[in-house]
Amino acid sequence: MREGVSHVFGYPGGAILPVYDSLPDYPVHHVLARHEQGAVHMADGFARAGGGVGVALATSGPGATNMVTGIATAMMDSSPVVCITGQVSSGLIGSDAFQETDITGVTLPITKHNYLVTEADEIAPALREAFYIARSGRPGPVLVDITKDAQQGAAAFDWDAAEPTPPGYRPDHRPRAAEYRQALDLINGARRPVMLVGHGVALGRAEELVRAFAERSTIPVAVTLLGIGAFPASHPLHLGMMGMHGEAWVNEAVQQADLLIALGMRFDDRVTGTLSTFAPGARKIHVEIDPAELNKNVTVDVGLVGDVGEVLATLLPGVAPNDHSAWLARIDEIRQHAASRSIQNFADDGRLYAAHAIHDLWQATGGRAVVVTDVGQHQMWEAQYYRHDAPRSLITSGGLGPMGFALPAAIGAKLARPEADVWVVVGDGGFQMTMAELGTLVQERIKINIAIINNGYLGMVRQLQEFFYGARYHATPLVNPDFVTLASAYGIRGIRVTDRAGVMPAVDAATAHDGPVLLDIRVEPDDAVYPMVAAGAGLDQMIRRPAQEVVG
């Protein structure tokens, strides 16, 4: 309560029952998930959408181990989540007691920090510290494992006297004046600069400063998958997503740049392609809150360790207004060449492509939805064809990429932002990994809509088989349930969409309906996500969609 927690997502069991028993005494709403993985994804979606800390609760043993995928997801994407697990009583620890798992041992590499609490008077300070660590500096998941006897004990706690000061933890770095000067020299002297905007911009709520910075010196902006929404897609300086499935002109711009200004992004391998040829002519400035990220993958000329908002606010007055029109014109030229390879510009061949479905979803929702995607081809098409203008309007798992993320994360997102029009964009494979959470949706009376991009395949893997394994489609075709009938079993309205003309009316009907709606959108099974940078290739060596005549 003192941490401002309004919702917890969880699943009960014997070892956490004392906590559950006391929950009704507090004004905290408990959401009963259908699987503990779902509970953690819900807490994660809640944090990503709302900007606070998400909380998940589970019992010992299987409850705690079911959380592992959710915790690793939050860790990879720096999402602030506190997981509270029950543990067997302290006297039983180490005895292979019923449902005993050493969950602090299991989660050591996938949490920012974790605790085993065995005394009642340690609980409140540990939780207070857990929230502080989860949200401060580089955010991340923290697990607090509490033995049953500690939960049953009683202790006094003085909140104000217990300001957390974890030993050795210093989240408040600031660059030195000389580093600022070096950065400004590079920025003001650049002729072909590109800003690389990442998830840290959203985490640091620095969207406005990024925009002011880009506009001051007319610097074009590329975004990472997790940076989408941190710079408006409709802004004239917005280039699009870079990386493995980034747009060709964005990757070309990165490769031809003479300066990269990386803001709150960690040069993931999906972003850089092979490091040996990454942006060879560019000087590099990296603004990053975690010193461990500096020079980890990409060696930089200037590293500014600190919060991106604070660093940009300090830099901004020193940035000289600049006109990079020749550079922008050059990027535009590459962008024009790409038109003949964009499926949006091809003549209608009577088939429904996923890219069309996403594009029409974007149009029908006025671009204002909070979209929560799963992992696979549909995720990439969403990133390419839904144009996000608002911060925190795309919620997606980038680093771990677990199928099954979308539905539970969207439930969390909707609870954090009740006013938002929340859409799940999910593959037919990934949906089946956590579709039990439809039960949670119904029990909680949550209004979100679900678009299953149903291609009858584990599409992203099918694509790898097509490109690199001689099109031997082994273990990727799916025999699916009838998703519309499945929805009806939960009392949810289902609509099947089989042609392009059906997409917008179905989205409109879903939006208008007073309750969740599931769209089963049957798309072309054999399509691939283009462009694609193959493993080991340079960013500018992309596999492109075969060119066609542009119509319209």
For binding to ligand FAD (CB under 6 A), which residues are involved? Answer: 77-78, 138, 198-200, 203-204, 224-227, 241-246, 264-266, 268, 270-271, 287-290, 293, 307-308, 375, 379-380, 398-399, 401, 460
* Least distance (Å) between residue 379 CB and ligand TPP: 7
Question: What single-letter DSSP state applies at residue 519?
Answer: E
Q: Cα Rg for the chain, rounded, in angstroms? A: 24
Beta bridge partners of 533: 542
Please confirm, yes or no, whether 549 is among the known catalytic residues: no
One residue of 13, 193, 412, 430 binding ligand TPP per CB under 6 A:
430
Tell me the window of 276-284, 418-426, 451-459, 529-537 that interacts with Mg ion (CB under 5 A): 451-459
Catalytic residue among 76, 87, 100, 148: 148
Residue 546 CB contacts under 8 Å (≥ 6 apart), including other chains: 341
Q: If residue 9 lies in a helix (H) or strand (E), which one and from where to where?
A: strand 7-10
Give the three-state DSSP class for 401.
coil
Q: What is the rounded CA–CA span in Å between residue 515 and residue 493?
A: 8
Position 403 contacts ligand TPP (CB under 6 A): yes
Please confirm, yes or no, whether 460 is among the known catalytic residues: yes
Q: If residue 453 lies in a helix (H) or strand (E), which one and from where to where?
A: strand 449-454
Position 182 contacts ligand TPP (CB under 6 A): no
* Least distance (Å) between residue 408 CB and ligand FAD: 17
Please confirm, yes or no, whether 36 is among the known catalytic residues: yes
Q: If residue 86 lies in a helix (H) or strand (E), which one and from where to where?
A: strand 81-87
Tell me the window of 17-25, 325-333, 397-405, 501-509 that interacts with ligand TPP (CB under 6 A): 397-405
Please confirm, yes or no, whether 148 is among the known catalytic residues: yes
Catalytic residue among 460, 483, 532, 542: 460
- Shortest Cβ contact with ligand TPP: which residue? 427
One residue of 198, 399, 412, 427 binding ligand TPP per CB under 6 A:
427
For 517-546, b/e burial (b = at least 16 CB within 10 A) is: bbbbbbbbeebbbbbbbeeeebbbebeebe
* Least distance (Å) between residue 381 CB and Mg ion: 11
CB distance 180 to 314 below 8 Å: yes
Position 110 contacts ligand TPP (CB under 6 A): no
Nearer to Mg ion by C-beta: 376 or 538? 376
| Phi and psi, residue 513, nearest 5° | -70, 140
One residue of 114, 342, 377, 384 binding ligand TPP per CB under 6 A:
377
Distances (CA, A) of 372 to 82, 97, 427: 21, 39, 12
* Least distance (Å) between residue 310 CB and ligand FAD: 8
End-to-end CA distance of the chain: 57
Q: What is the rounded CA–CA span in Å between residue 527 and residue 377?
A: 9
Question: What single-letter DSSP state applies at residue 546?
Answer: P
One residue of 54, 220, 459, 531 binding Mg ion per CB under 5 A:
459
Nearer to ligand FAD by C-beta: 146 or 206? 206
Maximum C-alpha span of the chain:
74
Q: What is the rounded CA–CA span in Å between residue 450 and residue 517?
A: 6
Nearer to ligand FAD by C-beta: 10 or 137? 137
Position 52 contacts ligand TPP (CB under 6 A): no
* Least distance (Å) between residue 294 CB and ligand TPP: 29
Q: Any idea what the Cα angle at residue 297 is, between residues 291 and 303, rounded to 5°?
A: 40
Residues 452-481 that bind ligand TPP (CB under 6 A): 453, 455, 457-461
CA proximity to 74, closest of 29, 138, 11, 3: 138
Position 356 contacts ligand TPP (CB under 6 A): no
Nearer to Mg ion by C-beta: 340 or 465? 465
Q: Which of Mg ion, ligand FAD, ligand TPP, none has residue 430 at its interface (CB below 5 to 8 Å by kind)?
A: ligand TPP
* Least distance (Å) between residue 375 CB and ligand FAD: 5
CB distance 81 to 40 below 8 Å: yes
Give the three-state DSSP class for 501.
helix
Each residue 505-534 as x (binds ligand TPP by CB under 6 A) or -, in order, gives ------------------------------
Q: What is the rounded CA–CA span in Å between residue 22 and residue 87?
A: 17
Binding site for ligand TPP (CB under 6 A): 374-378, 401-403, 427-430, 453, 455, 457-461
Positions annotated as catalytic residues are 36, 98-99, 148, 460
